[in-house]
Amino acid sequence: MNQTIVTLRKGEGRTIKAGGAWIFDNEIDTITGSFHNGDLVEVHDFDGYPMGRGFINQNSKIRIRMMSRKPDTQINEEFLEMRVRNAWEYRKTTVDTSSCRVIFGEADFLPGLVVDKYEDVLVVQCLALGMEQFKQIIVDILKEVLAEDGIIVRGVYERSDANERTKEGLPKHKGFIGDPFDTNVEIVENGVHYMVDVVNGQKTGFFLDQKYNRLAMQRICKGKRVLDCFTHMGTFALNAGIAGAAEVTGLDISEYAVEQATANAQRNHLQDTVHFCCANVLDELPKLAAAGEKYDVVILDPPAFTKSREATKNAIKGYREINMKGLKLVKDGGYLATCSCSHFMTEELLAKTVKEAAKAVHKRLRQVEFRTQAPDHPILWAADESYYLKFFIFQVVEEK
């Protein structure tokens, strides 16, 4: 069968020429040869210069996701094993691998595929049609690679239930890959024990990307009164508690999340100092301010306020509002940790928004540090979508 060739328009392909992984529908000039959605195709620049191979999907605005920059590469089991081994060796070098993201899509050159490891359980999320054909092979390879380091995988669960699947023309899916197993997995991160529910938890069951940001907060929270907003499973609150915080309150709108967080507090024998409340954070913060409450540390870890460029303007208003409300609760000389997990909310834009919030409530900020996602979520330069988490820690001082 002849290779299908996709030729770019003149002047297009800037992203992949810079090292990225995506080609959008409006960048393509011609397609020669027959194909089915999900097939591998060869990509040429407008002048016929070969640029590599990727899989095509006409259902998606991301028309091609690149698998290799070499047009003669065979995308076979040997190639996939190379990618998986490289991903695992990188994690072994850079992070605590007891629980970590083993494969991070485009940033590990396996576009559309995420694999998280929770102790001896793997959770797989496939968000691209072309990757569906490789999913099982990659899982099998990964199990073999981990076994070489003495890690025997107890079970694999698929959480391909994200909305991004519909943009690829794929149905949402969740279920076991292989034999069923107990899907409640206890993990230990930064000395804190959690029970991860890989079936019902958000995303793949747990947010691994904030691991070292949570650790960074431990030294700040010792002996302090702490408010953790959008606490989810109580992660920042429990890191504060285990570091010796005097009193910690976690807020989340989800009753399920609060139940999980409360159970995690008991699991870590922190039930006397770390407490959780089911509340809408945006409504609760003004009530706390009106009651005269003040905290040594306020942590704001909201969900992404925008998942599209078009919604960024409204998201800025949301981030400004939540930071204004949070800042009002910080004692003079206390600390604010604030973040965004939307890649459309750039570092510069978040900094500008927090600065405006501080000015509006007459607070001065001294930056302690700026952080991003954990290294097991590597940022691939030129693939902007891989850089999404921005995390600031400030000292808050009154205007005097």
Cβ(42)–Cβ(66) below 8 Å: no
pLDDT for res 124: 98
**How far is residue 177's CA from residue 157's CA, in Å, rounded to a whole number?**
6
The token pair at 119 is 């102790």
| Matching residue, tokens 């940001």 | 213
**Cβ-based neighbours of 186, under 8 Å, separated by 6 or more:** 119, 193, 194, 195, 196, 267
* 62, β-bridge pairs: 24
**How far is residue 48's CA from residue 114's CA, in Å, rounded to a whole number?**
33
DSSP track, 207-220 = -GGGHHHHHHHHHH
Q: Which of 100, 126, 221, 341 is catalytic?
A: 341
User: How far is Cα of residue 164 from the mean position of the Cα atoms in its chain?
Assistant: 14
Cβ(263)–Cβ(195) below 8 Å: yes
**How far is residue 123's CA from residue 198's CA, in Å, rounded to a whole number?**
7
pLDDT for res 243: 98
Q: CA-CA-CA-CA torsion for 174, 175, 176, 181, nearest 10 degrees?
A: 110
- Dihedral sign for Cα atoms in the order 108, 113, 118, 119: negative
> Which DSSP helix (H) or strand (E) runs through 102?
strand 99-104
> How, if at all, do strands 121-126 and 155-160 pair?
parallel
Q: How many CA atoms lie within 13 A of 140 on its CB side?
A: 9
Q: How many helices (H) and strands (E) does the chain have?
A: 10, 20
| Matching residue, tokens 């328009």 | 9
Q: CA-CA-CA-CA torsion for 277, 281, 283, 284, nearest 10 degrees?
A: 40
> How, if at all, do strands 40-44 and 184-189 pair?
unpaired
Cβ(259)–Cβ(203) below 8 Å: no
pLDDT for res 308: 63
pLDDT for res 309: 67
Q: How many CA atoms lie within 13 A of 236 on its CB side?
A: 29
**How far is residue 43's CA from residue 285's CA, in Å, rounded to a whole number?**
52
Q: Which domains does the chain have, with CATH numbers?
A: 5-68 (2.30.130.10), 77-183 (3.30.750.80), 207-398 (3.40.50.150)
**How far is residue 150's CA from residue 13's CA, in Å, rounded to a whole number?**
43
**How far is residue 120's CA from residue 108's CA, in Å, rounded to a whole number?**
21
> Which DSSP helix (H) or strand (E) runs through 235?
helix 235-242
- Dihedral sign for Cα atoms in the order 30, 39, 344, 389: negative
For each of the chain's 400 residues, which pLDDT tens digit applies? 468 999 999 999 988 999 999 999 999 999 999 999 999 999 999 999 999 999 999 999 999 999 999 989 999 999 999 999 999 999 999 999 999 999 999 999 999 999 999 999 999 999 999 999 999 999 999 999 999 999 999 999 999 999 999 999 999 999 999 999 999 999 999 999 999 999 988 889 999 999 999 999 999 999 999 999 999 999 999 999 999 999 999 999 999 999 999 999 999 999 999 999 999 999 999 999 999 999 999 999 998 776 666 667 888 999 999 999 999 999 999 999 999 998 888 999 999 999 999 999 999 999 999 999 999 999 999 888 899 999 999 999 986 6
Active site residue 278: no
pLDDT for res 307: 62
